[in-house]
Amino acid sequence: MSRLIKSIFITFLGLTMLIASDDWSKNKKAIDKSVEKHRKALIKISDAIWHNAELALEEHKSSKILADYAEKNGFSVERGVAGMPTAFIATYGSGRPRIGILGEFDANAGISQKLQPTKEARVEGAPGHGCGHNIYGTGSLGAAIAIKELMAKGKLKGTIVFYGTPAEETIFGKVWFARAGLFNDLDVCMDWHPGADMEASTQSSKALIDFRVKFTGKTAHASADPFNGFSAVDGMELFTTGINYYREHIKPTARIHYQIEKAGDVVNVVPDKAQIWVRVRENDRESLNVVYERVKKMAAAGALMAEVEHEINLISGIYEILPNRRGAKAIQSNFEMLGPITYTKSEEKYAKAIQRETGKPEVGMDGIIHPIKETMPAQGGSTDVGDVSQIVPVVRLSTPVAPKDAPWHSWAVVACTGMSIGHKGLIHASKALGMTMVDLFENPQLVKEVKAEFKERKGSTKYEPMIPQGPPPIPQK
């Protein structure tokens, strides 16, 4: 190639890249405009879900609001997927890449709260959105709609799939989606979660197994003939004693929790029924199984010592998240493009009042962009997003919807997820998600790199859903 031809080629290549870069910028500006165009509707949807505050698998109103809005905006909606009446999938476009985005909408039990920075139930004993799922599902749908609008104008090619996933707080609905193969055809899946910081997520989560143990004995009068009784509660208490002695010998990364659900009815009768809900966690599935198998032996041992029967029923289980740093870098660049979230004086006052009420430092809201963290094992919670990340690369982010250090799954978060602090996190997340999906739709190399990292992290691990056979446990009215 002569110098002249080479010079012309390089100039042409440079102009082509410049034009492509300009289009890319235009598409991201279009995402921003779309989310702003839908801002009022998105906030209205989020607030409606906040007021409904429906528990897992009972989110009929919340699911319908989201599915109806997706349908109104041109998506093809399939309802009642994976055996769950409140689950749905909304799809637009055709061909590759096929990008998914997750959306949750279930509430937490018993934490109803008014929109004020002091604790007071809106409806005593009712659920509340202490994990921000009213914002989660709505923010994801806003991003999906923005991408759909670019596709409709011919600016992007491929398929966008919004997953309306119920019951994250209890039976982990995404695992039923996974068992049904509903994530198998994706190239990449986007996810986010409301939080207290703005960050591109590179952290894992803990794998978890949820199970219930029922003990069955023989009843007798507790004073007249206790020697004829075999106490189911004795078996359960011996089981929990074993668990609590075992805590000294588990790794610091492991967690064991339990809730006694049934322990007899009256004091003067040897109880023949007892029931306990147990949850075991570890940083990965392999380590989790070690703890789970040991705890199951303790249940059998407790039953043996009390001479009662026992039955172990698996509720559900979830894998750890496989993080994706390449995807996180794309999110980070879009966060930097969007800039930090700013708060009014009244919002800062509100946030500090919540921190004061919950005994936290009164530092207010944290709307800055945090740097990408080093990839580390899980430090805290678990999520069924982990199962999705075992099937397809998942790219995740978080934006603030509550004050720094506010206790999660509590009234303090509910007090923010239905007002302007939560709304700002919703809109920011929606834009960042949409802009990152633009990157994925426009840049095949990015998709290739995200998938390559996923393949390396997953290795030879075979994914098998940790849920019982049969349909999800839909509440019966």
Residue type at 214?
K
From residue 25, alpha-carbon distances to 134, 190, 200, 332, 408 in Å are 30, 20, 20, 16, 36
Give the closest residue to 437 by CA, choosing from 96, 92, 168, 188. Answer: 188
Would you call 18 helix, strand, or coil by DSSP? Answer: helix
- Asked if pLDDT for residue 8 goes beyond 70, the answer is no
Q: How sure is the predictor about 472, in pLDDT bands with cuts at 50, 70 and 90?
A: very high
Q: How far apart are the C-alpha atoms of 3 and 21, rounded to whole Å?
A: 26
Instruction: From residue 393, give the alpha-carbon distance in Å to each of 138, 182, 282, 389.
Output: 22, 14, 21, 5
pLDDT in tens, 321-340: 999 999 999 999 999 999 99
Question: H/E/C letters for each residue in 223-262?
Answer: CCCHHHCECHHHHHHHHHHHHHHHHHHCCCCCEEEEEEEE
Under 8 Å between Cβ of 47 and 39: no
The CATH number that domain 207-318 falls under is 3.30.70.360
Structure tokens at 286: 């392999």
Asked whether residue 30 carries a pLDDT value surpassing 80, the answer given is: yes
Tokens 């919670």 belong to residue = 381
Distance CA 256, CA 209 (A): 10
Segment 251-267, tens digit of pLDDT: 999 999 999 999 999 99
- Report which secondary-structure segment, H or E, holds 67: helix 60-72
Structure tokens at 73: 């905006």
Determine if the pTM surpasses 0.85: yes
Is the pLDDT at 68 greater than 50? The verdict is yes
Mean pLDDT across the chain: 94
- Structure tokens that stand for 43 in this block: 């906030």
179-210 as b/e: b if 16+ CB within 10 A: beebbeebbbbbbbbbbbebbbbbbbbbbbbb
Which residue's structure tokens are 């004061």?
Answer: 356
Q: What is the pLDDT of residues 178-220, one digit of tens each?
A: 999 999 999 999 999 999 999 999 999 999 999 999 999 999 9
The answer to whether the 26-200+323-458 and 207-318 domains have the same CATH topology is no
Q: Give the pLDDT confidence score for residue 97 in this predicted structure.
A: 98
**pLDDT band at residue 6 using 50, 70 and 90 as cut-offs:** very low
Q: How far apart are CA 437 and CA 447, in angstroms?
A: 10
Contacts of 438 (CB under 8 A, 6+ apart): 24, 27, 28, 31, 147, 150, 156
Which residues are CB-contacts of 138 (< 8 A; sequence separation ≥ 6)?
42, 45, 46, 49, 66, 103, 426, 430
Instruction: State the pLDDT at residue 380.
Output: 76
If we measure between CA atoms, which residue out of 134, 224, 188 comes closest to residue 448? Answer: 188
Give the whole-angstrom CA distance, residue 196 versus residue 361.
14
Assign 212 to helix, strand or coil.
strand
Strand ranges across the sheet with 199-200 = 76-79, 88-94, 158-164, 98-103, 188-195, 394-400, 199-200
255-310 pLDDT, tens digit each: 999 999 999 999 999 999 999 999 999 999 999 999 999 999 999 999 999 999 99
Q: How far is CA 443 from CA 11, 158, 438, 454, 455, in A?
A: 21, 12, 8, 17, 19
Which of 20-29, 269-278, 367-376 has the highest mean predicted lDDT (pLDDT)?
Answer: 269-278
Q: Is the pLDDT of residue 149 over 90?
A: yes
Domain 26-200+323-458 indexed as CATH 3.40.630.10: yes
Q: Verify cis geometry, omega within 30 degrees of 0, for the bond prior to 371.
A: no
Report the relative pairing of strands 309-318 and 273-282 from DSSP bridges: unpaired
Q: Is residue 246 over pLDDT 90?
A: yes
Name the helix (H) or strand (E) containing 400.
strand 394-400
Tokens standing for residue 167 = 């019951």
> Which residue do the tokens 């009815």 mark?
265
Q: Provide the pLDDT for residue 125.
A: 97
For the chain, the domains span 26-200+323-458, 207-318
Place of tokens 């990008």: 99
* Predicted local distance difference test score (pLDDT) of residue 377: 67
140 touches 107 (CB < 8 A): no
Report residue 374's pLDDT band, with 50, 70 and 90 as the boundaries: confident
Extract the runs of DSSP E, i.e. beta strands, from 166-321: 188-195, 199-200, 207-216, 220-221, 255-263, 269-270, 273-282, 309-318
- Three-state DSSP state, 100: strand
